[in-house]
Amino acid sequence: MSKAPALRLYALVYLLVLYAPIIVLPIFAFNDNTVVSFPLRGFTTQWFGEMWADPNLRIALKNSLIIALSTATLATVLGVFAARSSVRYAWPGKAPVMGMIMLPLVLPEMIVAMALLVVLLSIGVPLSIFTIILGHVLICMPFAVAILTSAFQSLDRSLEEAATDLGETAWGTFRLIVLPLVMPGILASFLITFTISIDEFIISNFLGSGRPVLSVYIFGQFRFPAKVPSMLALGTVLVAFSVCLLATAEYFRRRGIAKAGGKDTGGFL
Amino acid sequence: MTFSADRPNMIEFKDVHKYYGDYHALRGINGTIKAGEFFSLLGPSGCGKTTLLRTIAGFEDISSGAVLIDGKTMAGVPANVRPTNMVFQSYAIFPHMSVQENVGFGLRRDPRSAAEKARAVEEALEMVGLKGYGKRAAHALSGGQRQRVALARALILKPKVLLLDEPLSALDKKMREQMQVELIKLQREVGITFVLVTHDQEEALVMSDRIAVMFEGEIAQLADPETLYRRPNSKKVADFIGTMNFIPCTILSEAGDKVEVDAKGLGKVALDIHQAPPPRGETPVVGLRPETLTLLYPGQTATERETAGVIDEVIYFGDMTYYDVYLGGTDTEVRLSMRNVPGRPVLDVGDKVRVAWSPEALVLFR
């Protein structure tokens, strides 16, 4: 591998281009200047204070957390049902139904958001946090189902049969054998759908009817030059939060695999 | 081979059929497995032996017919309440539990106290030679140890029937032979009916009181190992169990309990009717096991029949030598096996030899 310097350089540049903008975020978040430009002027935590002082941010954050937690929970629970039944049972129309669940993955989100808006308004459902959650569950389901399907597929079916054979009921077998063994997949699904939901913009904007959620709030604030540094501060906090989240997920995933004695076939980190 | 026919029936199959869609997996299985018997279902892959085992466990519904365990029909009885336990091919050790949690899993609904259950687990582990392994993580075990945990886990519930689905196929040869003996001993000790599924005819012969040989969803022959080996009821069974030479022949006469045939290379032979299983409308052949043919060395004479031959191939195995020999100046070639003992040199290709054999060892398939 060390004999391909060109490829090495390419990989290096690739990673730099990919991640440099994200590194710029915290640099300017701590820079003592309202304008985002070099040279740096001095260290300050002023922007973090300013950011937190804005009551709108706190409302948006609260709304976003409610939406993301609800979406992650719903999508993962529904994903468990869908993945389990698609892996384990045969039923008529399985292929088209599973295809339909995965469809939002390739549909333009704009179209999905518009269609949902038109339908919801025409049947008289008032736009609220709840409608945003509905939209988010729709677009998060493919991810949840993909992750959970692979988790259920890697489960040896004879483990369930063994538990049944040893006298457990169907529910007992699911609770004592299936659930603990697919837990890493459930955790991964939860975290990924949470992440997708919290930074989702289009559906939040369309179906929220101007209700403040984090992504819409950031987009709105970015129009005012004076607000840019505090938005960078917010971005820094979000990046730090994401890294912590993924690290936690990875820790649990690896521990799960070690406990189950499986081979580590890669994860998020 | 201590099996006695007067023991009560443990499992009965009554015209069991199983369809997977259009595929007819079990085609009218009839037969009984006796209480306390070590019974094997033997056959090539896809013959339905595992499916049949799973109908006993309750993992497969049958399409028609009946499966009875200890006189009770199992129709509508789910797997978790049947008096059977299973050792799975993959062992199915719960990877997120310790050895003692695995072994004690079946005792969850047992009303006994925790201390009594712990003692039962310890006893079960001791029985399979894993004393003191209780605290180990299940995934830290070797293949042989996993197998023992699976055995202890199944036997702790004292089932009426223990089902074993190719339990030794994942082990290496040495370990497999060792486990075969251990399983026989264990079965004698606990006295539980064992039903073993295997595709390894040697394993079935070594371990079983009786064997059902299965082909294409049907039981071809159900008998004790010796009968199966010495008196197979069809060419197919004879071919599957061990090695057998098939020699083309013509039937000269059939009267009473005697059948006279003319076998190519062997000449005219009178056979007892017991040596001729029911006719199947096939081209007649006589079968001979390699060890029933003997090479005669200078000075030796045959006690019964003797045929001249020429050695075509010599396969040396250390303790044994296999010879392929053309019989009686014909193109009939048979394989025979000779034990290599001092004073008995290994012969060479092209050597002219005399072959001794006994009419009693012949089986006629027609």
B141 CB-near residues (< 8 Å, 6+ apart): B93, B99, B133, B149
N-term to C-term CA, chain A: 22
Q: State how far residue A163 is from chain B, nearest Cα, in angstroms.
A: 8
Chain A: residue whose CA lies nearest to B104: A166
Chain A: nearest CA to B205, how far in angstroms? 27
Specify the pLDDT at position B282: 87
- The SS3 assignment for B128 reads coil
Long-range contact pairs involving B121-130 (C-beta distance under 8 Å, separation at least 24): B121/B152, B121/B156, B124/B152, B124/B153, B124/B155, B124/B156, B125/B99, B125/B100, B125/B152, B127/B152, B127/B155, B127/B186, B127/B189, B127/B190, B128/B152, B128/B155, B128/B186, B129/B182, B130/B99
Q: How far apart are CA A113 and CA A96, in angstroms?
A: 22
Give the residue from A200, A206, A196 showing the smallest Cα distance to A140. A196
User: Which of B291, B289, B290, B334 lies closest to B310, judged by CA?
Assistant: B334
Q: Going by DSSP bridges, is the β-strand pair B258-263/B267-272 parallel, antiparallel, or unpaired?
A: antiparallel
- Chain-chain contact of A261 with B139 (C-beta, under 8 angstroms): yes
Nearest to B347 by CA among B365, B366, B322: B322
Q: What is the dihedral of CA A111, A117, A119, A125, to 10 degrees?
A: 160
**Distance from CA of residue B284 to its chain's centroid?**
26
Model pLDDT for residues A214-237, shown as the tens digit of each residue: 888 888 888 887 777 788 888 888
Flag if B106 and A159 touch (Cβ within 8 Å): no
Tell me, what amino acid is at B336? L
What pLDDT, in 10s, does the model give residues B199-232?
Answer: 999 999 999 999 999 999 999 999 999 999 999 9
Q: Is residue B261 very low, low, confident or very high in pLDDT (cuts 50, 70, 90)?
A: very high
B104 interface with A at CB cutoff 8 Å: no
Number of neighbouring beta carbons within 10 Å of residue B7? 13
Of B188, B196, B145, B238, residue with least CA distance to B11: B196
Q: Which of A158, A169, A262 sits opposite B80 (nearest CB)?
A: A169
Residues 53-72 of B with CB under 8 A from A: 57, 59
Q: Region of B263 please: left (phi>0), alpha (psi -120 to 50) or beta.
A: beta
Asked if A167 has any chain B CB less than 8 Å from its own CB, the reply is yes
- Furthest C-alpha separation in chain B: 78
Rg (CA), chain A: 22
Mean pLDDT over B102-129 rounds to: 91
- pLDDT in the model for residue A269: 41
Q: pLDDT band for A258, please (50, 70, 90 cuts).
A: low
Nearest CA in chain B to A156: B92
Residue B18 above 90 pLDDT?
A: yes
Catalogue all structural domains in chain B, each as residue range(s) with its CATH number.
9-235 (3.40.50.300), 243-365 (2.40.50.140)
* Sign of the torsion angle spanned by Cα atoms A242, A245, A250, A253: negative
Flag whether residue B96 sits within 8 Å of chain A, measured between CB atoms: yes
Residues A178, A160: contact at Cβ < 8 Å?
Answer: yes
Kindly report the three-state secondary structure assignment for every residue of B301-348.
Answer: CCCCEEEEEEEEEEEECCCEEEEEEEECCCCCEEEEEEECCCCCCCCC
**CA A79 to mean position of chain CA atoms:** 14
Residue A265's pLDDT is what?
54
Cis peptide bond upstream of B44, omega within 30: no
DSSP state letter for A125 = P
Chain A: residue whose CA lies nearest to B154: A166
Rounded to the nearest angstrom, the minimum Cα separation between B81 and chain A is 6
Interchain contact, B157 vs A167, CB within 8 Å: yes
Q: Which CATH code is given to the segment(s) A55-213?
A: 1.10.3720.10
On the question of pLDDT at B24 being above 80, the answer is: yes
The yes-or-no verdict on residue A253 having pLDDT over 60 is yes
- Read off the pLDDT band of A268 (50, 70, 90): very low
Nearest to B90 among A156, A259, A261 (CB): A156
Q: Cβ-count burial of B53 within 10 angstroms (0-12 exposed, 13-18 middle, 19+ buried)?
A: buried
Instruction: At B287, list the tokens.
Output: 């079968």
Q: Which of B56, B81, B86 to mutate to test the interface with A (most CBs of A within 10 A)?
A: B86
* Nearest-neighbour CA in chain A from B322: distance (Å): 43
Q: Is B164 helix (H, G, I), strand (E, B) or coil?
A: strand
The pLDDT tens digits for B175-193 are: 888 889 989 999 998 899 9
How many angstroms separate the CA atoms of B66 and B253, rounded?
43
Q: Which residue of B has its CA nearest to A259?
A: B96
**Dihedral sign from CA coordinates of A97, A103, A109, A114:** negative
Per-residue confidence (pLDDT) for residue A46, from 0 to 100: 76
User: Would an 8 Å CB–CB cutoff place A177 in contact with chain B?
Assistant: yes
Q: Is B153 on the interface with A (CB under 8 A)?
A: yes
> Cα B218 vs. chain centroid, distance in angstroms?
15
- What digits encode the pLDDT tens for the residues A6-24? 899 999 999 989 888 888 8
Axis-axis angle for helices A55-88, A46-53 (nearest 10): 80
Q: Is B74 exposed, middle or buried (0-12, 13-18, 19+ CB in 10 A)?
A: buried
Question: Is the CB of A209 inside 8 Å of chain B's CB atoms?
Answer: no
Q: Which token pair is B195?
A: 């039903």
User: Is the confidence at residue B5, as pLDDT, over 70?
Assistant: no
How many angstroms from the chain centroid is the CA of residue B150? 22
Q: Is A47 helix (H, G, I), strand (E, B) or coil?
A: helix
pLDDT over 70, % of chain A: 92
Q: Mind listing the pLDDT tens digit for each residue in B271-296?
A: 998 888 888 888 999 999 999 999 99
* B109 inside 8 A of chain A by CB: yes
Report pLDDT for B57.
94
Q: What is the pTM of this model?
A: 0.81
Q: What is the pLDDT of residues B148-160, one digit of tens each?
A: 999 999 999 999 9
CB contact (8 A) between residue B59 and residue A161? yes
ipTM: 0.83
Q: Write the residue in A165, A167, A260 that is nearest to B95 by C-beta.
A: A260
**A21-65: per-residue pLDDT in tens?**
888 888 877 877 776 667 777 777 777 887 787 888 888 889 999
Q: How many CB pairs under 8 A join A and B?
A: 69
Report the gap between the CA of A90 and the closest CA in chain B (Å). Answer: 13
pLDDT in tens, B25-77: 999 999 999 999 999 999 999 999 999 999 999 999 999 999 999 999 998 89
Residue B11 tokens read as 């499992």
Tell me which chain B residues have a C-beta less than 8 angstroms from the C-beta of A167. 80-81, 106, 108-109, 157
Task: Check B59 against A261: CB less than 8 A apart.
Answer: no
Give the pLDDT band (50/70/90) at residue B338: very high
pLDDT band at B1 (very low <50, low <70, confident <90, very high): very low
Does the pLDDT of residue A147 top 50, yes or no?
yes
The counts of H helices and E strands in chain B are 8, 20
Render pLDDT for A156-209 as a digit per residue (tens, 0 to 9): 889 999 999 999 999 999 999 999 988 888 988 898 899 889 888 888 888 887
